[in-house]
Each structure stands twice: as C-alpha cells, then as structure tokens.
Structure 1
Amino acid sequence: MTAINRRRALSGTAAIAVGVPVLAACGSDDSTPDTPASSATDESSPSPSEAAPSSDGTSTPGADALASASDVPVGGCFVVAASKVVVTQPTEGDFKAFTAVCTHQGCLVESSSEGDIPCPCHLSKFSLEDGSPLSGPASSPLEAVEITVDGDSISLA
C-alpha cells in the first residue's frame, strides 16, 4: 500500500515539475493576441529614424525606412514588427507591402523565403502578390500598405 501512495506522490510531483515551465512558456506580456516571440523584428528595434543593421550587416537608411531591399528575399517576405508591416518581393525588384496582422485572430505573420506569407499561430498562408489568403483559417486578405522604393531603401509612402 505504501508503494502505491509513493508512486502517486512522485508522479504528481513530476507532472508539476514538467507542467509549470510549459505553462509559463505559453504566457506573454504582449498585448497582441498569440504574437510569437520569433517574429522577424521585435519592438525593441531601433526606430525607423535610426540606422539599423540589415541582415547582410549593412545599415538600413534612416528617415522613414522600413527595410533595405536586400532584407526582402525574392519569392519571400520580411516582417517589420515595430511597424506591423510585411514587405514582399514576389519577383526580382517588385516590392509590395501589407499589414503584418493576420486577419484570422490578429497574430503577426512571419518572414519567409518559401513563396508565401505565413502566420505561425494557426498556419494561414497569404499571397506575396496581393495578400489574399492561400490556406488556413484566415478568409480575408491582408490589407495593402503603400510603400516607396528608392534605391535600396523601402519606406512607407
């Protein structure tokens, strides 16, 4: 009888030891629902008026720059989380931008080089061309955002 009680006590302790860290990892201090911590650019990034290093080590131009053209892969997208904008390059030299907030439940989409704009929360995927939903629970397109491209600098219009 003692062995059964000891087993129950140990299995309960193990469940608590494993469960508490897992639950803590699910929590978030962000006000955006289901926003993953792995978004391309976090909100502690320098403001657009400061020069920020791009993925290739060069500096992103100041002023209202969102990103450098070199940050956005051909056939992919680059998320600027601080501005909640995703910039895409469906074909070489053709840049488009959309809100980075998924139309399903408000999660931020992720940067990708896989030919679509992925949302990590519920696996919706959006078109690089027009922001329309390709798959997943999202049924509305991402809203277009006006941008300008001047040399290597991509800015809000």
Structure 2
Amino acid sequence: MTEQQSSGSPAAEGLAERVAGLTDRRGVLRLAGVAAGAGVLAACSSPAVPSGNGGAPPAGGAGGGGANGIPTSEIPVGGGKVFADSKTVVTQPTAGTFKAFDAICPHQGCTVGSVEGGQIICPCHQSHFDDSTGDVVSGPAPTGLTPKTVKVSGATLTVS
C-alpha cells in the first residue's frame, strides 16, 4: 500500500467534503425542501369525498357512522353517490325512492366507486350490485352489499 491510500487519501477527503456539503446550511435546506415536497404530494394523493355530516356521528345516537343531513338533490335519479368517509353508498333508483348500503365490497374490502346504469360498481375487481337491493349482479363478490336505513325528512336524508 502506498502512503496516500492509507491515511490522507483523496477518496477520504472527497467523502469528508460530501458530508460537509450535506450538513451545511444549503444542504439542510435542500433536504427540508425535499421532505416538504414529499409531504405535499402525500396530502394531495387522495381527494376527500364529502359527506353530509362532516364526520360527525349520526343524529340521535352515537357511533355507527353514516351519511346524514344530505340534500336529496345530491343523489341523482337512476344513480347515486358514494360517501367513502362514512363507508356508505346512497342511491335513488326511481324518483323519490332512496336506498343506502355499506360501501365496502364483500369480495376483498374495497370501497365501491360509482353508481352507473342501475348498478353500484366496485373498481377493484368489477363486482356489480343492484342499486335498489344491493344484491350481486355480477363479479367475484360472494354476497350483496349490506343495507342501511334511510330516512327522508323534507329535502334532506339521513342514513343509519
């Protein structure tokens, strides 16, 4: 071995310069910028799905969750709306008839994604459920969606 490789080698000096570069003020600010950017990306990665209750428990009882105080006008006739935060899907198969179901697909626990053409659709494995009964129409789901209770009061509805 030569003297240069054993103690004061250029490689050791280069490493010391890189470490110093990471711990100086600019290096710390660069690292903080990367961490902040990652946090912003994580916060923007999954949009919130609004519900009528803002995450509050259902009126008249604790626990259980549910979509409450929803204007009936938010639920289209022949369609529906998924409230992922309360794990509820509300449909209006015919004008003035509202149905609600647990939005968790019994196949593998995915949240259903949409209501189209009279069917509630799970995006994970394409299970389809009847929007008025929650029964399985097609797909790998072994059973239908669990029904919930809908109460309409004037122009709003609550689900429990």
TM-score of the superposition, structure 2-length normalised? 0.59
Contact (CA 8 Å) 2:112, 2:123: kept in 1 or not?
yes
How far apart are residue 131 of structure 1 and its match?
0.2
Task: Give the distance between the partners of 1:153 and 1:48, measured in 2 at CA.
Answer: 16
* Runs of 4+ displaced beyond 4 Å: none
CA RMSD of aligned residues (A): 2.7
How far apart are residue 139 of structure 1 and its match?
2.1
Query: CA 1:151/1:111 → structure 2, altered by over 3 Å: closer, same or farther?
Result: farther
1:47 aligns with 2:55: yes
Task: Give the distance between the partners of 1:151 and 1:129, measured in 2 at CA.
Answer: 21
How far apart are residue 66 of structure 1 and its match?
5.2
Task: Give the distance between the partners of 1:101 and 1:66, measured in 2 at CA.
Answer: 21
Could you say which residue in structure 2 is the equivalent of 1:108? 111
1:25-44 to structure 2, matched below 5 A, reads: 37=46, 41=49
Task: Give the distance between the partners of 1:107 and 1:152, measured in 2 at CA.
Answer: 31
Q: Pick the aligned partner of 2:146 from 139, 143, 155.
A: 143
Could you say which residue in structure 2 is the equivalent of 1:130? 133
Q: Pick the aligned partner of 2:155 from 145, 152, 155.
A: 152
Could you say which residue in structure 1 is the equivalent of 2:78? 75
Contact (CA 8 Å) 2:106, 2:141: kept in 1 or not?
yes
Which SS does the other structure have where 1:148 is aligned? Answer: strand
CA deviation profile, 1:54-94 (whole Å, cap 9, x unmatched): xxxxxxxxxx7252211111111211111101111110000
How far apart are residue 136 of structure 1 and its match?
0.8
TM-score of the superposition, structure 1-length normalised? 0.60
Q: Higher helix fraction: Structure 1 or Structure 2?
A: 2
Contact (CA 8 Å) 1:116, 1:125: kept in 2 or not?
yes
CA deviation profile, 1:85-113 (whole Å, cap 9, x unmatched): 11111100000111000010000002324
Task: Give the distance between the partners of 1:110 and 1:77, measured in 2 at CA.
Answer: 10
Aligned residues: 107
1:81-100 to structure 2, matched below 5 A, reads: 81-100=84-103
Larger Rg computed on CA atoms: 2
CA deviation profile, 1:109-150 (whole Å, cap 9, x unmatched): 023243210000001110011100101111201001012111
Task: Give the distance between the partners of 2:138 and 2:86, measured in 1 at CA.
Answer: 25
Percent of matched pairs sharing the same residue: 42
